Amino acid sequence: MTTTGQEKNRIMVPEPTLQRIPVYLQLLKRRFDNEGIYVSSSEIAELLDLKPIQVRKDLEYTNADGRPKLGYNARDLIKSIEKFLGYDNISDAFLVGCGNMGRALLGYSGFDSTGIKIRAAFDTNLNIIGTQVNGHKVFDVSKFSDLAKRLNVRIAILTVPFDKAQETADMMCEAGIKAIWNFAPVHLKVPDDVIVQNENMAVSLSVLVKKLDDSMKG
C-alpha cells in the first residue's frame, strides 16, 4: 500500500503506527467487545507478535486512557480508536468498476469492523447496471457525480481496468471526491487536494517474491 498526495506534509502519526491501529481495532472488536472487559497492552502485543511498549506507544496517539495494572477498558479503547480513525466523521464510499476486484470488495466482510460502508457501486456495463452485486445496487456511472454530491460522499474505490483508470479518476475528482483507493495498476494524476492510496496487487506480490528470493539466498 502506498499513498501519494497532499497528506504528505500533514500526518504526524508514523505510517507503521497508522497501519497497526486498525489492526488493534479489528482484534478488539473480534475478541474483547464486551461490557467491563479490560485488556492490557501485553495481551494485545502477544496476540499480534508485537512488543508491549510498541502497542502502548501506538495507543497513545489515540488518546486512549489505560489504567495501571488493569489496562484499557476495551469498550472505551474501541471508541478512542474509532474517533482517532475518523469513523465518526466519514463513513461512506462509492465503488466504480464491478469486475472481479470490485465484486471482491463489495463482498468483503472485513469492512464490517471499520464502520465504513460502500454505499453504492457503479459500472458502464448495461448488463449489470440495475442488478445487485453482493448486496449492492449497481448504478450507471453517469449517475456518479450527482449521487456523490447529493450524499456528500468523499471516498471512492477505483476498480476499473487500467486503461480506464485516469478518466475515471478525473470524473471522481470533478464530483468532489477527496480520497481515491486505487486498484488499477497505474499512476493516477490528481489535483493536490486529493489523496490517492494505491493497492497494486502486482507490486505487492513482487515485493513478497523478492523477500523470499533474498531469504533463500541468505
Q: Does residue 141 sit in helix, strand or coil?
A: helix
Give rounded-to-5 percent helix, strand, coil for the chain. Answer: 50, 20, 35
Query: Which one of 72-80, 143-151, 166-174, 182-190 is the stretch in contact with its own copies (CB under 8 A)?
Result: 182-190
Among 37, 45, 116, 128, the residue binding its own copies under the rule CB under 8 A is 116
Query: Which one of 33-41, 46-54, 71-79, 120-128 is the stretch in contact with its own copies (CB under 8 A)?
Result: 46-54
Does 128 bind its own copies (CB under 8 A)? Our answer is no
Query: Which one of 35-43, 138-146, 166-174, 178-186 is the stretch in contact with its own copies (CB under 8 A)?
Result: 178-186
Do 138 and 132 contact (CB within 8 A), yes or no? yes
- Residues 46 and 31: their CA atoms lie apart, in Å, by 13
Does 10 bind its own copies (CB under 8 A)? Our answer is yes
**C-alpha distance from residue 95 to each of 9, 75, 139, 164, 196 (Å):** 27, 31, 10, 14, 14
Binding map of its own copies across residues 141-170, x = CB under 8 A, - = no contact: -------------xx-----xx--------
Binding map of its own copies across residues 51-70, x = CB under 8 A, - = no contact: --------------------
- Residues 22 and 24: their CA atoms lie apart, in Å, by 5
